[in-house]
């Protein structure tokens, strides 16, 4: 079974309580799910 963005959204909600990814995160998750290698640097908000 291949994971989908909906699976990732479900896990996000189950484990962290968020309804959607923050800006830029969805594109990263989609890229990973498509099997692409990724290097991502994002602000921590801290």
Number of domains in the chain: 1
Structural domain span for residue 4: 1-46
pLDDT of residue 39: 96
pLDDT of residue 29: 96
Residue 45 has pLDDT above 90, yes or no: no
The model's pLDDT over 2-42, given as tens digits with 9 standing for 90+, comes to 999 999 999 999 999 999 999 999 999 999 999 999 999 99
SS (H, E, C) the chain: CCCCHHHHHHHHHHHHCCCCCCCCHHHHHHHHHCCCCCCCCCCCCC
């Amino acid at each position: 079974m291949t994971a989908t963005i909906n699976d990732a959204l479900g896990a996000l909600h189950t484990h962290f309580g968020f309804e959607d990814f923050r800006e830029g995160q969805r594109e990263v998750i989609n890229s990973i799910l498509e099997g692409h290698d990724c290097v991502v640097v994002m602000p921590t908000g801290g």
